[in-house]
Amino acid sequence: MIQLSSVEFQYGEGHAGDFKIASADLEIPSTQSTALIGPSGCGKTTLLHLIAGILPARNGQILIDDTRIDQLNDRQRRLFRISKIGFVFQDFALLDYLNLFDNILHPYRINASLSLTREVKDRARSLAEQMGIGEKLYRHPAQTSQGEQQRAAICRALITQPSIILADEPTGNLDPSNKSAILDILLDQAKQNQASLIVATHDHDLLPSFDQVVDFPKLITS
């Protein structure tokens, strides 16, 4: 269960043009898939970052199962995120000096509580095959297309079999023939791991696949 109660956040010091979320309330049951829609700049990415603990809330409560994310310090939020949350970043956030395979496995390199086993490496290869990048695993990001980088980022988000999957425009750089296939993989992985899936998207053609659709501007007072 993910619950946001009266969550507030602000960039800047309140000057004209600064962005803020004055109040946000949201409840997402465990194992449910949710599409988060709204125009560019309305705060969808910010909301995902608040849920993941990448950004600290100014006020309000963010509860994930029994953990108050808003009460954790930076290090605690980071460890919680690595172990519990798979995040697909809109800008991919791949490391240029690592090939795609090592980028996918990166969560296991930075969290001592995760053990990098043969099974994990096999799962990484299997995910890459499903995503259509199995033959590109030993190329670096600069040697691949944006679509291939995006699929590698999705693999990295799924590799730990997280209980929460947050995806920021995960199909934005994919051609139409691949969009539905990639979304199906995200939904299937969420179902297999009994995970909650939240996807920020502009693509209304994908919305029928979700359990619920949240119109972000109607969710908040800003």
CATH code at 142? 3.40.50.300
In the chain, which residue ranges form alpha helices assigned H by DSSP?
Answer: 44-52, 74-84, 100-104, 106-110, 118-130, 146-158, 176-192, 216-219
pLDDT at 221: 53
Position 222 scores a pLDDT of 47
Output the pTM of the full model. 0.90
Residue 79: predicted pLDDT: 86
pLDDT higher at 4 or 11: 4
**Full domain range(s) for residue 135:** 2-221
Model confidence over 38-92: pLDDT tens digits? 888 788 999 999 999 999 998 999 999 989 999 999 999 988 998 899 999 988 9
Total domains in the chain come to 1
Using an 8 Å Cβ cutoff, are 126 and 165 in contact? no
pLDDT of residue 16: 45
For the stretch 107-163, pLDDT in tens is 999 888 889 999 999 999 999 999 999 999 999 999 999 999 999 999 999 999 999
pLDDT at site 15: 45
Give residue 83's Cα distance to chain centre. Answer: 13
**Position 189 pLDDT exceeds 60:** yes
Query: Is the CB of residue 92 less than 8 Å from the CB of residue 152?
Result: yes
